[in-house]
Amino acid sequence: MTHQIPDFPELQFGSLYCIGRNYAKHAKELKNEVPSEPVVFLKPRSSLIFNGDSVKIPASSNNVHHEVEMVVLIGKTTANISTERALESVMAIGVGLDMTARDLQSEAKLKGLPWSLAKGFDTFAPLGNLAPYHSATNLSDLNLTVSVNGEKRQSGNTSDMLFNVASLISYLSKHFTLTAGDLIFTGTPEGVSAVEKGDLIKASLGNGLSTLQVHVS
Ligand code: ZN
């Protein structure tokens, strides 16, 4: 499997940073407190799949959820960046799914353990087409939707993010050096629900600016 970025063949994918609990209503539906700082976790690159691929339900989970999210592609090396300059690092945006084995994650949360196993399975990071970012695009006003077998499951807007993209990049860059090809999954609005083998998941960001279609197998 190649880690090349389909829409930007000159780049290779790097780290997959993910933000948890970045929409208040989603934090509440999972009975989590609304965080005062971004909640950060990572997925392995082997979890990435693309349009037309299939999410594989692992044998160890009976409750795999979709989380539809805006994904940001970083275009240059970025460390200790201010929020004012953070968007200079954004190369493209797209829609992604942070697939989550909710049963394994709930167990890990109870035990105070990391989420990597629940979030990092192969195929657990489907990514749609990446649309080049222009400063005229308002990243804080993009619709996010996901449907399963034609039925709407999640519908949100990035205006409801607790930490906007500039704050997230600035925050991450104070802990990690971001590099071209890194992806940031920016959190999910409410309405997460389970998928099953045979389902068709369709997701969209910005009314079709980026779209994603994957099967579940
Ligand atoms: Zn998520």
Label residue 89 by pLDDT band (50, 70, 90): very high
Q: How far is the CA of 47 from the centre of ligand 1 (A)?
A: 14
Q: How many CA atoms lie within 13 A of 194 on its CB side?
A: 10
Q: Average pLDDT of 134-150?
A: 96
Q: How far is the CA of 34 from the centre of ligand 1 (A)?
A: 14
Q: How far is the CA of 99 from the centre of ligand 1 (A)?
A: 7
The number of beta carbons lying within 10 Å of the beta carbon of residue 197 is 12
pLDDT at 1: 47
Q: How far is the CA of 12 from the centre of ligand 1 (A)?
A: 23
Q: Is the pLDDT of residue 27 over 90?
A: no
Instruction: Write out the residue range of the structural domain in which residue 204 sits.
Output: 4-216
| Size of the chain, expressed as the number of residues it contains | 217
- DSSP of 106-117, one letter per residue? HHHHHHT--SHH
Q: How far is the CA of 17 from the centre of ligand 1 (A)?
A: 10
CATH of residue 60 = 3.90.850.10
Q: Average pLDDT of 127-148?
A: 96
Q: How far is the CA of 55 from the centre of ligand 1 (A)?
A: 16
What is the number of structural domains in the chain? 1
Gap between the Cα atoms of 215 and 52, Å rounded:
7
- Computed on alpha carbons and rounded to an integer, the radius of gyration of the chain in Å comes to 16
pLDDT at 3: 64
